[in-house]
Amino acid sequence: MKFVHIADMHFDIPFTSLNSRENLSDKRRLEQRNVLKKVIQYIKKNNIEYLFIAGDLYEHEYVRKSTIEYIINLFKEIPNTKIFIAPGNHDPYIRNSYYEKYDFGENVKIFTNSFEVEKYEDDNFNIYGMAFTEFYMNRSPLEKIKLDDKEKINILITHCDLNGSKDSEGMSYNPILESKLNEIGFDYVAMGHIHKNNLENKNRIYYPGSPISLGFDELGEHGMIVGDITKDSFSMEFVKLDDRQFEEIELKVDKLFSKEDLIEKILSLDLNENNMYKINLVGKRNFEINPREILRILSVENILKIKNSTKLNYDINELTKQQNLKGMFVKEVISMYEKGLCTEEEYQKAIEIGLEAM
């Protein structure tokens, strides 16, 4: 049984983190389309029998009719491939959703139930799946699953939070324990929700990660899992799909003494023109740094963000000798710290903020 496993495409997501560069959000949405086209082309070229889509195929709030039609037309190009979709928290199967309103094709099975696990049966395997039917899923119906025939290949497709917990609002996203999955005895679990793959897992319980990176919280390569499974064997590989990577570079500023020095240092970096970069400035600075101003002056297409994580470069002993406002301020903060009126962290922060303000 040959299959491709993807999840978390998030079609038509706004890409607000990319708004620092004109039209980049639109370009990235076009690249999303191209990535799904790559998946379909791979399936056709390699005669893949099954495509598992483990949720968040699109953004319910933002997706356009034209995008849904684009997806459906691509699915029509692989009529001999059986496609299984387990809707997630961003594309739940709800009233008037595109999943309900549109016919995705005869070769597409969309799971529609969050209270019971649905099952698709074939001579050699059973495929189980569950759907989000709202934007949260606090309890999983997984406890009700008992495999009918362990002689068959048994696969679960679900959008879930493996070993997860509640968020800050007390809500969950289909929390599932890995120990429970192992106890049930699936031969493969195709998951979605976490945008980073977990290929190091040895229990055949996998997140493929998002096929295309959605921002700087999703560094590294992105793609899909390609697998081949029988009752006696299993093999898989990760296939890269995204031509871009989001990267974060740490840049020390200790030996830089002007805005011009900093700009020249950034321009000297060896950057891949296809990738997107966030520059994190660290160390002790010797001049005022305005990240927005630096970004505007640079105008380098693939540098999207500059973060200032530096600290002000100062000598406390020298400052206490000064007969001016700075000297008086520093001595007062030191006195408060010595009296136990603030912690060391608060003392250091007060010195930095106060001196920077002056």
DSSP of 247-260 = EEEEEE-TT--SHH
pLDDT tens for 133-152 read: 999 998 888 878 889 899 99
* 157: β partners: 129, 190
Residue 311 has pLDDT above 90, yes or no: no
Distance separating alpha carbons of residues 122 and 119, to the nearest angstrom: 10
More confident residue, 243 or 142: 243
Taking Cα atoms as reference points, which of 142, 216, 149, 212 lies closest to residue 175?
142
Range in 37-41, 169-173, 276-280 the model is least confident about: 169-173
Distance separating alpha carbons of residues 357 and 175, to the nearest angstrom: 47
Q: Residue 168: what pLDDT? A: 58
Find the helix packing angle between 259-267 and 291-298, rounded to 10°. 50
As a whole number, mean pLDDT of residues 300-313 equals 89
Report residue 88 as tokens.
Answer: 């997630």
Find the helix packing angle between 344-357 and 325-338, rounded to 10°. 170
Question: Do 218 and 183 contact (CB within 8 A), yes or no?
Answer: no
As to burial, measured by CB atoms within 10 angstroms (0-12 exposed, 13-18 middle, 19+ buried), residue 73 is exposed
Distance separating alpha carbons of residues 62 and 82, to the nearest angstrom: 27
Q: Residue 170: what pLDDT? A: 63
pLDDT range class, residue 20, cuts 50, 70, 90: low
Q: Residue 324: what pLDDT? A: 87
pLDDT tens for 218-228 read: 999 999 999 99
Percentage of residues of the chain with pLDDT beyond 90? 67
Please state, rounded to an integer, the average pLDDT across all residues of the chain. Answer: 91
Taking Cα atoms as reference points, which of 15, 173, 198, 17 lies closest to residue 89?
173
Q: Residue 142: what pLDDT? A: 85
pLDDT tens for 151-188 read: 999 999 999 999 876 665 667 889 899 999 999 999 99
Compute the CA torsion angle 146, 178, 199, 68 (nearest 10 deg): 60
**What are the E-state strand segments in 130-264?**
153-159, 161-162, 175-176, 188-192, 205-206, 223-229, 234-240, 246-252
Residue 337 has pLDDT above 70, yes or no: yes
Number of other CB atoms surrounding residue 142 within 10 Å:
19
pLDDT range class, residue 287, cuts 50, 70, 90: confident
Residue 251 has pLDDT above 90, yes or no: yes
Q: What is the CATH number of domain 2-240?
A: 3.60.21.10
Q: Give the strands of the sheet with 223-229, arranged side by side.
A: 108-110, 82-85, 50-53, 2-6, 223-229, 234-240
Distance separating alpha carbons of residues 33 and 282, to the nearest angstrom: 37
Q: Where are the domains of the chain?
A: 2-240, 246-312, 316-357
Number of other CB atoms surrounding residue 31 within 10 Å:
15
Q: What's at 135, amino acid-wise?
A: F
Taking Cα atoms as reference points, which of 255, 266, 250, 251 lies closest to residue 313?
255
Give the helix/strand (H/E) hosting 263.
helix 259-267
Q: Give the strands of the sheet with 205-206, arranged side by side.
A: 118-121, 125-129, 153-159, 188-192, 205-206
